[in-house]
Structure 1
Amino acid sequence: MTVGVVRSWYGEEGWGVIDSAETPGGCWVHFSHLWAGAMPKAAPGQSLAVRTSGTRQLRVGETVDFDWEAVTQDGFAFRATDVRPDGEPPRWEIVESTGGYASFVDINFDESQ
Structure 2
Amino acid sequence: MSKETPGVLVGRVLTWHGEEGWGVLTSPALPHEVWAHYSAIQCEGFRELTAGQRVLFSVEPAEQDQFRWRAVRLWTDDPPQPAADDDDDRGDGLGLSSDLDITFDS
TM-score by length of 2: 0.61
Q: Distance in 1 between matches of 2:63 and 2:71?
A: 11
Runs of 5+ unmatched residues, structure 1: 39-49, 88-113
Runs of 5+ unmatched residues, structure 2: 1-7, 79-106
In structure 1, the partner of 2:24 is 17
Does residue 69 in structure 1 map to residue 76 in structure 2? no
Aligned residues: 71
Judge conservation of contact 1:5–1:62 (CA < 8 Å) in 2.
yes
| Structure of greater Rg | 1
Residue 59 of structure 1, aligned match among 50, 58, 69: 50
Q: Deviations over 1:5-45 (max 9, x none)?
A: 1000000000000001233220000000001xx7xxxxxxx
In structure 2, the partner of 1:2 is 9
Q: Distance in 1 between matches of 2:57 and 2:69?
A: 12
Q: Distance in 2 between matches of 1:71 and 1:23?
A: 14
Higher relative contact order (CA 8 A, sep 6+): 1
Structure 1 residue runs of 4 or more that deviate by more than 4 Å after TM superposition: none
